[in-house]
Copies of this chain bind each other. A is one copy, B any other.
């Protein structure tokens, strides 16, 4: 990726952020608690990894700039809906260094904010391209349903999930929105035949990323007794079916598989995901050294 392209994608990211913000507030009363909660949540930016992937894919596939911006805003809006809800359901008081929405505005406002952003995500996707709207909405609905099924499994997994169970949950919970960031642009570029590869690639990345993340938290979680850490689980489980004996090898496995899937996506639309995999793999290597 050249620097000119980088700048341009950053511009699109800013436009996507602005569109998502404008859409979310358009029917709300300024000064109302819901308006304040949405504004508050959006003021602290996250990594925007999903909208970046989506923008890269849209541009690589030759989609119109406006459509790409809409899809990226849709994916990021859906991600924000899931964060507000996850924090509430997991009782996590902090998000992006500040009080989570439910902690600051209460449970009811957090629930309403989630609904609003979920609804907005569909509107943003549907307005990306009229003749593709029904397909984009259908794919997004399936992604939401899979994520909710994953969350439900996670809520009821108990204190001691097995590694396979944890991987199955990460598959649905963490991977779905990464997949969607690739699926939506592919649908609009008429690469229907690449959707299942995109779905699997995003899923593998989601699992790999989750294990990578758990590796960073391993020693802290060991001390605090958080047994949901997948890197800790590996120590107690046979993981030979993934050709891995350690958590590091398991993370390698999924990130390598994700990169290999991304490389087979059309027109280099998965290149940013490959870069992301490489960066994580490189970090793992440095830490092992």
Q: How many residues of A contact B (CB 8 A)?
A: 44
A143 and B146 CA atoms in complex are apart in Å by 25
Question: How distant is A19 from chain B, measured CB to nearest CB, in Å?
Answer: 14
A203 at the interface (CB under 8 A from B): no
A111 and B89 CA atoms in complex are apart in Å by 9
Q: Give chain A interface residues in 125-169, CB to chain B under 8 Å.
A: 126-127, 129-131, 133-134, 137-138, 140-142, 144-146, 148-149, 151-153, 155-156
Q: Which of B88, B108, B122, B142 contacts A137 (CB 8 A)?
A: B122
A108 lies within 8 A of B27 (CB)? no
A240 at the interface (CB under 8 A from B): no
A246 at the interface (CB under 8 A from B): no
B149 lies within 8 A of A123 (CB)? no
Q: A26-B145, A134-B126 are in contact. Are A151 and B119 (CB under 8 A)?
A: no
B119 lies within 8 A of A145 (CB)? yes
Residue of B nearest to A112 (CB): B148
A229 at the interface (CB under 8 A from B): no
Inter-chain contacts of A89 with B (CB < 8 A) = 108, 111
Which of A2-10, A28-36, A49-57 lies at the interface?
A: A28-36
A26 and B88 CA atoms in complex are apart in Å by 26
A109 lies within 8 A of B152 (CB)? yes
A115 at the interface (CB under 8 A from B): yes
A-B contact pairs, 9 of them (CB 8 A): A27-B149, A28-B145, A85-B115, A111-B114, A112-B151, A119-B122, A126-B126, A126-B134, A133-B134
A-B pairs with lowest CB-CB distance, top 6: A27-B145, A123-B141, A133-B133, A126-B137, A133-B134, A122-B122
